[in-house]
Structure 1
């Protein structure tokens, strides 16, 4: 394969290169670029090469771009594979690093890489202008490869790679312009129209006579047109990366405020008590004096707003459409602020890929942000885990929950997601429980596991009736164990202060262990 760069891009984006940051660029007419839209065709052609090849993967028609990039890297070690992503997702970087793939993040970096490769090809044209036969063969090979790989795109224009239209708005820098002014017969950016082979006969003659010719080259009665350094379009005007969401356009009221502490509560399976623990954690942080937000990132069946008694809570979709409404999200009556899951399930698909940006946005308005997540693991979990300060993994008493936790951690490891910030808690602990934290620790290769006491039916009944404050006021063993867990996640100064307070409360409970029992009996009488 003689071309300098291979680009894997889906057919629709190839028809509209402006979506990848290259407006008015004719990708088919670039002799230095080999194009593939079909994943099978790309793997078949690239795997048989015996030279080192630079490959950019953006997308394809038959599979996800990142999966194609990983497959190409496994097919041949000679391929220098780079995945181009326009999403602000740290998980993408981790996955690419695990697969040995480079990452080009955003249209700004991609346009720079594209322009650099294009400039390198132009420089080689200038330095090897006398070798026009090789250049012609290179161009003809590129054109035939493009037609065979993209036969469905009949509308592709067969225009000269050296015309102004083919180069689009990406101009030459001052150094190249100077070289062209010294050697005007090279034929780059002529005003004539090319023939079907891509290079006009006059341009070929100009290349052959480049060394001997002194005066300016005239092509079919028209002088050669070359952009000057002043006429070239600056790269910065093309490399403006559009924000992913309206959140990026909304300026925060106070940029000097420190970023909130963020905690994500996750589990490997449903029914572990994850949502209850997330809600109680937000209640406890608010009770400790922190301005707290409970963000319901269970995009399918989240019901945090209902359990808090906030039927009219602002949802994630509302905040994305109107970021200024974040000012209306605030704690009320001793309860934490809440951003509800989208009301319409179909809106979830639009939010999943932008969770990292959403988390960073809301952290600027609160002291603590607690995120409730869904039990079905998706890309959103990877983004959330990499965006928060601490992740609490909740395990219940079922052996299947332990296996689900192990498999989820293995998934994180394969995707390059760090699991060191994880904390683990075993829920529903009691004297007659099947498992203990020690059992989980032995099964999970010695990880530290904390216990959360079983709250019994009382927890579900109070939250089901939207009475979170009443649940917090019970100061049951469940609430106390969640409180101790939440305090352990705080920064050192605050943690020591609250730990002393918890120790004092625990000593007072030990002084009169039957006080709560007597109160209940009196209430019954």
Structure 2
């Protein structure tokens, strides 16, 4: 019999199926099941075996299972990919939703699904579709179209195994430029240490994008100490916990986007709320991408699941450090984590912020320390940056001829795709051009 299902689990679990909840089973002798234990062999087998209909990812010897499952879904979106988790982890479910997986199965549903497929493959000529499964399922699934037998017997729809509020699933209008390009451009701004100017860069990038004529939203994913509302001068912003209570409030942001400043989803009011709302980030981000041309995501210096969610959804990542050697060490430390998580880092843009001619750290130092990455320097903008943003006058800063603002305008053009880059280029004021990739410093 041809292989119908691919199971990825660590070697110990494959040798002892009891650990998977599959008592008295010999996985290596099942004709319809292919078993692998490493990420590379999993992707290779999935690519080479055209008869596979479903992929189950329980664990892996060399990579986080969520990253394996996400890679499998990217390789072949038509195949059903399920992540199996024996623990209750809300952030894992959110990451699975962001990866467009077909479902997250707990131990009970996994064992039940295994038995369903086992029975289906025991009937000559039967497939794993819903129609075939009705013949041996105790429950019918009339009216459920295009789903597997998971819905028929377990009452769980693969496409809705990760629940989403109805308000976040409804289609929302896009701005004019969105008809030219398939989706919004998401730019994540991250840092390995605090005080590097990450939030300032996120704020200035969003203002420049808005002033250029692109509909722009900001998501402040620094859930504990985010202050984007303060930097952008937004008095009463919609916060993440507000959207968690009422997803429909996201629609109000479309009206904010028509104003002078970018639309903002602010960080929680209270620090203790951060762990509760972290699971909302992927859904909020996906909805913002359906409403705006550009979405800027600010993150915190404390790395957690929220960073992983943002990095997986971002089109461009700006990795900010300042001119201190300790900031470079923190960046290298965070990069090691990205590699372990399976996050592609080749497209990261590294910025040495607050750079002066006398600084200890340069773009060359960063490129050498991080094995040839593309690095650049953003000049120190002086007191104007801190004073104008701190006083709630971001537009005055953008209108100035500050060298830091000019550097951020160049950076924004490099981060955007061609059509949006043209919009930003046309919108920039006539001023003396200064290359973002030149040595920084005071003007």
- TM-score category (smaller protein): 0.5 to 0.7
What is aligned with 1:283?
Answer: 207
Residue 104 (structure 1) shift:
7.9
Q: Counterparts in 2 of 1:193-204, with a 5 A limit? A: none
**Per-residue displacement from partner, 1:467-491 (whole Å, max 9, x unpaired)?**
1112112220111111111111121
Distance 1:384 1:2 in 2: 33
1:477 aligns with 2:403: yes
1:261 correspondence with 2:208: no
Residues 391 and 110 of structure 1, relative CA distance in 2, 3 Å threshold: farther
Change (3 A) 1:326 1:441: same
Q: Does the C-alpha gap of structure 1 residues 269 and 505 become closer, same or farther in structure 2, counting only changes over 3 Å?
A: same
- 1:308 paired to 2:298: no
Q: Does 1:380 align with 2:306?
A: yes
Q: Is 2:195 aligned against 1:271?
A: yes
Could you report, residue by residue, the CA deviation over 1:150-195 in whole angstroms, capped at 9, with x for unpaired residues? xxxxxxxxxxxxxxxxxxxx99957769xxxxxxxxxxxxxxxxxx
User: Once the 2 structures are TM-superposed, how far is the Cα of residue 6 of structure 1 from its aligned partner?
Assistant: 3.2
Report the Cα offset of residue 254 of structure 1: 2.8
CA 1:122–1:272 in structure 2 vs 1: closer, same or farther (change >3 Å)? closer
Contact 1:305 / 1:340 at 8 angstroms: preserved in 2? yes
For residues 430 and 7 of structure 1, do their structure 2 counterparts lie closer, same or farther at Cα, with a shift above 3 Å needed? same
Deviation at 1:322, TM superposition (A): 1.5
Q: Deviations over 1:198-247 (max 9, x none)?
A: xxxxxxxxxxxxxxxxxxxxxxxxxxxxx79899x975342223543426
Q: Is the 8 A contact 2:93 2:104 kept in 1?
A: yes
Pairwise CA distance, 1:398: 0.7
Query: What SS does the corresponding residue of 1:106 show, helix, strand or coil?
Result: strand
1:324 and 2:322 matched: no
- Name the SS for the 1:463 alignment partner: helix
Structure 1 position 422 matched with structure 2 position 356:
no
2:264 maps to which residue? 338
Match of 1:236 in 2: 151
What is the distance in 2 between the residues matched to 1:120 and 1:457? 69
Change (3 A) 1:8 1:436: same
Using the alignment, how far apart are the partners of 2:284 and 2:207 within structure 1?
21
- Give secondary structure in 2 for the equivalent of 1:371: strand
What's the secondary structure of 2:264's corresponding residue?
A: strand
8 Å Cα contact 2:192/2:334 also seen in 1: yes
The whole-number CA distance in structure 1 between the counterparts of 2:114 and 2:398 is: 61
**1:42 corresponding residue in structure 2:** none
How many angstroms does 1:271 deviate by? 0.7
Deviations 1:278-320 (A, max 9, x none): 0011111011111111111100000111222222111011122
Q: TM-score, normalised by structure 1?
A: 0.58
The whole-number CA distance in structure 2 between the counterparts of 1:494 and 1:461 is 30
User: What is aligned with 1:402?
Assistant: 328
Task: Tell me the CA shift for residue 106 of structure 1.
Answer: 2.3
C-alpha displacement of 1:334:
1.8
2:79: which partner in 1?
none
The corresponding residue for 1:223 is: none
Structure 2 residue 281 is matched with structure 1 residue 355: yes
* Structure-2 separation of matches of 1:508 and 1:448: 18
- CA positional deviation for 1:404: 1.1
**Structure 2, unaligned runs of 5 or more:** 1-12, 37-57, 65-81, 86-91, 125-129, 436-442
Q: Which structure 1 residue ranges, 5 or more long, are not aligned?
A: 10-31, 36-48, 57-67, 75-81, 94-102, 128-169, 178-226, 510-516, 518-525
Pick closer, same or farther for the CA change 1:248–1:236 going to 2, 3 Å. Answer: farther
Name 1:191's counterpart in structure 2: none
User: What is the number of equivalent residue pairs in this alignment?
Assistant: 359
Match of 1:455 among 356, 377, 381: 381
Q: Is the 8 A contact 2:183 2:289 kept in 1?
A: yes
After TM superposition, the structure 1 stretch with the greater mean CA deviation from structure 2, 489-498 or 84-93, is 84-93
Once residues 284 and 475 of structure 1 are traced to their aligned partners in structure 2, the CA distance between those partners, rounded to angstroms, is: 13
Please say if 1:495 is aligned against 2:421: yes
Q: Which range moved further: 111-120 or 340-349? A: 111-120
**Greater alpha carbon shift after TM alignment, 452-461 vs 115-124:** 115-124
Distance change in 2, residues 1:300/1:52 (3 Å): farther
- Superposed CA deviations along residues 50-94 of structure 1, whole A, max 9, x for unmatched, are 9789999xxxxxxxxxxx9457999xxxxxxx951471416998x
How many angstroms apart in 2 are the aligned matches of 1:421 and 1:286?
Answer: 24
* 2:165 is the alignment partner of 1:246: yes
1:194 maps to which residue? none
Which residue of structure 2 aligns with residue 33 of structure 1? 23
